[in-house]
Amino acid sequence: MANLDPDREKVALFLEDLQVGQRFVSGTHRIDEGQIRAFAEQFDPQPFHLDPEAAKTTLFEGVVASGWHTAAITMRLLVGGGLPIAGGIVGAGGEIAWPSPVRPGAVLHVESEILELRPSRSRPNRGVATVRSETRDQFGEVVQVLVAKLVVPRKMKP
Amino acid sequence: MANLDPDREKVALFLEDLQVGQRFVSGTHRIDEGQIRAFAEQFDPQPFHLDPEAAKTTLFEGVVASGWHTAAITMRLLVGGGLPIAGGIVGAGGEIAWPSPVRPGAVLHVESEILELRPSRSRPNRGVATVRSETRDQFGEVVQVLVAKLVVPRKMKP
């Protein structure tokens, strides 16, 4: 398997290594207008993501990032060490909310907390971790809340 | 405001135009290995998205798209006419699940249904529509279910 991030591999956590209440903090990512426009042109071409002038007349009153862009950056921060789970971050789904907009210049990071851990009944080599990940900007404002169910491997018995 | 899609503007729907049970079908998007890798390099650099050989040894047994990539493509299909809401598609949040993986070559489309309509109490010019959007591949397999709460404008009274 490609070793994409040696540091992450070193601290890769299995289901048995996790505890309810355990917290993780990611690195940061600065978003700018160019990134917002590039993502929007490909996936969410609406005026409030693309055009500063047109965006002024929308309910956002200026350019904001697509919520899916915020979600994608959040994933990048989690994969880049923000949530060091063995075997990678594999989500089955979850709940997502965007309580406040992400504007150009925002510096984002992700704070995650383990909410629940459940071994699989049918598959002894894995389980499910429910993780709440808050994406915050440089002012501490929460711009995304993701409560995700992740597939986490268990240590193989000797 | 920039007119990004003349056809969509023509049929832009306000809250009063929507009905519970109303259905919409999007156009299609074919995803290939290059798209999957490009998205993953930027946002989700894990072996099961990036490297066909390494992906064989993972639980996916081959390359699959990032769930966030599927979400982004779904948004593109909704914005591109799959959900013709006046003022664009503005989501406050929702629930998302990826019941089966998206593999290279999949041809995706989105089928949406209005589940609930609620005028805002505090803001007479808008409301919230709850919409279930199923993203399906060319075999009809559901690869993503998104139940989203969307901000929808109401017609201004004369």
Please identify which residue in the block is written with the tokens 């289901």.
A15
> What does the DSSP 8-state code read for residue A21?
T
Q: What is the pLDDT of residue A10?
A: 60
Res A63 pLDDT > 60 = yes
pLDDT in tens, B8-44: 446 789 999 999 999 999 999 999 999 999 999 999 9
B134/A137 Cα distance (integer angstroms): 31
| Residue whose C-alpha is closest to residue B17's, from B113, B120, B86 | B86
Can you give the pLDDT at residue A28?
98
Contacts with B45 from chain A: Cβ below 8 Å? 4, 76, 79-80
| B106–chain A nearest CA distance, Å | 17
pLDDT at B6: 45
What's the confidence (pLDDT) of residue A1?
37
CB A45 to CB B98 under 8 A?
Answer: no
Integer Cα distance of A124 and A117 in angstroms: 14
What's the predicted TM-score (pTM) here?
0.92
Q: How far apart are CA A79 and CA A85, in angstroms?
A: 9
pLDDT at B2: 40
ipTM of this complex: 0.91
Using the predicted structure, report yes or no on whether residue B4 has a pLDDT greater than 90: no
Chosen for mutation from A77, A79, A122, A144 (greatest number of chain B CBs closer than 10 Å) is: A79
pLDDT of residue B50: 96
Q: How far is CA B109 from each of CA A67, B100, B150, rounded to the nearest angstrom?
A: 20, 15, 19
Quick check: A45 and B71 CB within 8 A?
Answer: no
* DSSP reduced 3-state for A15: helix
Q: Give which of B26, B126, B2 is closest to A46, Cα–Cα.
A: B2
Instruction: Give contacts of A65 with chain B, Cβ < 8 Å.
Output: none
8 Å CB contact of B96 and A94: yes
pLDDT at residue B5 greater than cutoff 60: no
CB contact under 8 A, A97 and B93: yes
What is the pLDDT at residue B141?
98
